Amino acid sequence: MRGGLRRVLITIAVVAVVGVIVYRSRGALRLEGFSGARLMHAMAGASIGLIVASVLLSYVGYVLRSLRWQGFCRILGPTRFADVYPAILMGFTAMFALGRAGEPIPPLLQAKKNRLQVASMFGLYVIERIFDLAGIAVLAAFGLMYFPADLAAGGEGHTWIAKVRDTGGLLLLGFMGIVAVVVYFRFHGAGVLDRYLVAWHNATGWRRRVAAQFAGFSEGLRAIRTFSDLLLAVFYTGVHWIVFTLVYLLVIRAFGAPLAAIGFTASMLILALTMLGSALQLPGVGGGAQLATFVVLTRMYGVAGEPAAAAAIVLWLVTFATPCLAGVPLLIHEGWSMGELRQLARAETAAEEAGTHVTDVTEISGGAT
């Protein structure tokens, strides 16, 4: 009962936050005629079948993420999908509940479930985030490069479309340059940089934290041992983000016209910019993700405010809250409470300030199994 009440309260909070965002932004977004009644009508008219299908498909995306994580872990020892997949769902649930404070939780849960060293998990977590950012960059690049010309208005509009597409091309070129740097660093530069940062590891303050981050990056790159390892990671990353693009497409199409006219490449761009907006996410409420979706739909694709707000709310719930449907029961089964996870996150943050990591997850969790 309390869990159900909490989800209802979260949903109400989401609607309230989006309402405040829309109201405060109505001048800049030219939404003077925004109607709460039309918003509720758009929500009520959504296709439940498509939304349920998007939820189920999102769990396929987490399967791909789990397979990629298993590939990264091969250098450390054997892992089981039956351990990796629940840990990923629990990790995303913790980040949803705790916001940015929950960022350290996923690698700590992976370390405990798979009985691997915590420091190594954080190294792999760094490289996982890099692959995710690369995937988001590619989505944004293609979404901008194939931005629909029919949204241009006159000569100035076509000039703007050309600039948008040029931006997508530059983003893709920049991504390729970053990949080249990472590959070079993996095979030639990591050891040299580590030797240069020896003094920083023994320092205090920001230098020690920077050195620890680079050490984690170097440790994570060890998971990419061969060219086939790189190709496999790229494959899982690409398919993962294609699956979530389809998730976005299903949710958007669930609201009918005019959102039904949005296609696959447009969904790529909406997903990419929503993920970037999620950097402003608040614990259990979100914020930046909904606003990013809302702005993209209204300003770039000309969708009216009410269906755009409805889609933004449901996309946020499907993208960020869906793991909780399985993650909360899994956390309860494993004996974790939100208080213990918060304590674990604080302990890891304190350890990172000292340039180290938590060494015994079980002790901090109060012996949770």
Convert the pLDDT of each residue in 177-217 to its tens digit: 766 766 666 666 555 566 666 666 566 666 666 666 666 66
CA–chain centroid gap for 165, Å, is 24
| pLDDT value for 317 | 86
The average pLDDT across 298-307 equals 82
| Cβ-contact 57, 250 below 8 angstroms | yes
Residue 169 has pLDDT above 60, yes or no: yes
The average pLDDT across 353-362 equals 63
What is the residue range of 95's domain?
A: 2-22+56-364
| pLDDT value for 111 | 84
Task: Judge whether 344 lies within some domain.
Answer: yes
- The pLDDT-based confidence of 291 (bands split at 50, 70, 90) is confident
Task: Judge whether 229 lies within some domain.
Answer: yes
| pLDDT value for 23 | 45
- The pLDDT-based confidence of 3 (bands split at 50, 70, 90) is very low
| pLDDT value for 29 | 41
Task: Judge whether 116 lies within some domain.
Answer: yes
- Look-up: residue for tokens 């949710």? 251
The average pLDDT across 91-101 equals 86
| pLDDT value for 11 | 46
Number of structural domains in the chain = 1
Rg (C-alpha) for the chain, rounded Å, is 22
CA distance 276 to 233: 21
Task: Judge whether 165 lies within some domain.
Answer: yes
The larger pLDDT score, comparing residue 310 to residue 155, is at 310
CA distance 42 to 315: 14
- Per residue, the 3-state secondary structure of the chain, as one string, reads CHHHHHHHHHHHHHHHHHHHHHHHCCCCCCCCCCCHHHHHHHHHCCCHHHHHHHHHHHHHHHHHHHHHHHHHHCCCCCCCHHHHHHHHHHHHHHHHHHHHHHCCHHHHHHHHHHCCCHHHHHHHHHHHHHHHHHHHHHHHHHHHHCCCHHHCCHHHHHHHHHHHHHHHHHHHHHHHHHHHHHHHHHHHHHHHHHHHCHHHHCCCCHHHHHHHHHHHHHHHHCCCCCHHHHHHHHHHHHHHHHHHHHHHHHHHHCCCCCHHHCCHHHHHHHHHHHHHHHHHCECCCECHHHHHHHHHHHHHCCCCHHHHHHHHHHHHHHHHHCHHHHHHHHHHHHCCCHHHHHHHHHHHHHHHHCCCCCCCHHHHCCCCC
Residue 333 has pLDDT above 80, yes or no: yes
Residue 63 has pLDDT above 70, yes or no: yes
Task: Judge whether 50 lies within some domain.
Answer: no
Task: Judge whether 246 lies within some domain.
Answer: yes
| pLDDT value for 152 | 47
The average pLDDT across 239-254 equals 94
Residue 157 has pLDDT above 60, yes or no: no
- The structure's pTM equals 0.76
Percent of the chain with pLDDT over 70: 62
Residue 71 has pLDDT above 70, yes or no: yes
CA distance readout (Å), 179 to 116, 164, 175, 223: 28, 23, 6, 16
Task: Judge whether 48 lies within some domain.
Answer: no
Convert the pLDDT of each residue in 131-151 to its tens digit: 888 888 888 888 777 776 555
